[in-house]
Amino acid sequence: KCSHKISFSTMAVTCEVLLVTIVLFCVHIALSVDVPYKGMQLFADQYPVPPLPYEYGALEPYIDERTVRVHHLGHHAGYTKKMNAALKAWRDEVGPGLGLQSTSILHILQNLDQVPEQHRTAIRNNGGGFVNHAIYWATMSPREKDEPPRLPEANLATEIIQNFHNFSNFQEQFTKTAKTLFGSGYVWLSRNPREQTLIIHTTANQDSPISTGLRPLLVIDIWEHAYYLKHQNKRPDHIQDWWELVDWGQVKNLSDWWQAYDAGHDEL
C-alpha cells in the first residue's frame, strides 16, 4: 500500500515547472547556435555569450589565441552580461507586458530612440557590443595552409562591382577607412535596404549600424583590445591580417539571413 499522496494541484505545478524548463531549454538551444549572430532576433530573459564557430587558436597566425580568448571571454562576455543587466533593469521597472522591452535585442536596437532615456545608453553600448562582436566573429574563419586568395562570389561580387567598380577599389577604400578611423570603433560594409546599395562606413564606440536602419554584412573591430597583444599600436598590421581571415561565404550567409529577416521568414 502506497503511503504517499500526490494532489492534482501538486501535479499541475510540477507539469508547469517542467513545461517552463523545456521552453527555456529550447530558447537556449535556439540562441546557442553555430553562427554567433543567430538568436539576436529572438527574445530572451538572459542572452548567452554567443559561442565562437571555431577554436580559440584557429585564427593563428593572423589573430593570436590569447587575443581571441581575452576578446571573447572578457570583452564580448562583459558586454553580454551588462546588456542582460540593463534589459532586466528596464523590464523590472515597467513590469510585464507587450512593450518594446519584451522584444528581441535586434528589435530594441532598431528602435533605440524609443528606449527610456535612463536605460538607453547602457543598452546602446552593451547591446551594440553584444551584436557587433557576434557579427565580427561570424564573418571570419580559419585559413587553410596554401589556401588561394578569398574573394566574394556570385551576387555579392556583382554588388561590390556595382557599388565600388571592382574588388580592389573596395578593399582599398575599406582599408583606408580603417586606418584613418579616429579612436575606438568599427568599420563596416553594410547594405542600405531602402536604396539597395552597399556602403563603407564607421561607427564609434559600440554604436550599431542596426540602429540607423542598415544591414551590416562585414566588420573589422578597431578597438585596440582586438589587436594590441599582437600588434601593439600597429593598426595597419592588424588590418592586413584581418583581410586574410574574411570569409566571403559567411558574409553571403549573413546577407541572406538579413534578406530572410526583412521578408519576415520564420526559418531564422
The pLDDT tens digits for 145-164 are 889 989 999 899 999 999 99
- CA atoms lying within 13 Å on the CB side of residue 165: 5
Cell numbers found for residue 25: 531549454
- List the one residue out of 206, 205, 217, 215 whose CA is nearest residue 170: 217
- List the one residue out of 36, 37, 57 whose CA is nearest residue 143: 57
In sequence order, which residues have a C-beta less than 8 Å from that of residue 250 and are 6 or more positions away?
35, 138, 139, 140, 141
- pTM (2 d.p.): 0.85
Q: Where would I find the H helices in the chain?
A: 8-31, 65-69, 77-94, 105-110, 117-138, 154-164, 167-180, 228-231, 235-245, 248-262
pLDDT of 145: 87
| Res. 252 pLDDT band, cuts 50 70 90 | very high
For residue 7, is pLDDT > 90?
no
For residue 6, is pLDDT > 70?
no
Residue 218, helix vs strand vs coil: strand
Q: Give φ, ψ of 40 to 5 degrees.
A: -70, -15
Distance (Å, whole) CA 164 – CA 198: 9
pLDDT of 268: 42
For residue 236, is pLDDT > 60?
yes
Mutual orientation of helices 235-245 and 167-180 as an angle, nearest 10°?
Answer: 140
Mutual orientation of helices 117-138 and 248-262 as an angle, nearest 10°?
Answer: 140
Cell numbers found for residue 190: 553594410
